[in-house]
Amino acid sequence: MDKKGFHSRVGDGKIEVFKDHAIFMKAERINNLNYLDAEVISDQVNITERISRKTWHMRLGHVAEADLKELEKRKAIPTTGDGSRDSVAGCEECILAKSKMLTFPEGKHCSKAPLDYAHSDVWGPAQTQSIGGGRYFLTIIDDYSRKL
């Protein structure tokens, strides 16, 4: 935007983007978040250069490739138009997000009496202290009886 001559002004809970003293975009801070006013004030707002489909895929929150093609068809996003060479099929983040966690194998220990084997876990720190001032939670489960 800077290359295209746009400037921004931040203050009084607002962000304004303008060019030649005309405001093109504005955002208002509500509860420490800036909400962009989505109303298009001018047709010059779309100042993005043609970028790859992979870059759009990441900028739009890892949207599906079919949706990107639809946006291209409607001329909503300008892409480089590399076609199949610009596929998002190999996106590492998407592959990891769609993978499922494998289950743990059954335990091979056999407890014969209470407290032969115990499982423990610690949770915390909690943002709010307990009545006693604690911020962590400890669980210990007996393997034989399955009791806390």
Q: 3-state SS string over 26-54?
A: EEEEECCEEEECCCCCCHHHCCCCCECHH
Q: Are residues 73 and 87 in the same domain?
A: yes
- Which pLDDT does position 47 carry in this prediction? 46
What are the pLDDT digits (tens) for 59-68? 888 888 888 8
Tokens of 132: 């006693």
- Which pLDDT does position 45 carry in this prediction? 47
Average pLDDT in the chain: 80
Question: Which domain, by its residues, includes 85?
Answer: 53-98
Q: Look at residue 50 and tell me whether its pLDDT is greater than 70.
A: no
Q: Where are the beta strands (DSSP E) in the chain?
A: 7-11, 14-19, 22-30, 33-36, 118-123, 137-142
Mean pLDDT of 32-47: 59
How crowded is the C-beta side of 32, counted as CA atoms within 13 Å?
0
What are the pLDDT digits (tens) for 3-39? 888 888 888 888 888 888 788 788 888 888 777 765 5
Asked if residue 1 belongs to a domain, the reply is no
Task: Report how many domains make up the chain.
Answer: 3
Confirm if 37 and 27 have CB atoms less than 8 A apart: yes
From 98, 115, 133, the end of a domain falls on: 98
Asked if residue 118 belongs to a domain, the reply is yes
Asked if residue 2 belongs to a domain, the reply is no
- Which pLDDT does position 26 carry in this prediction? 82
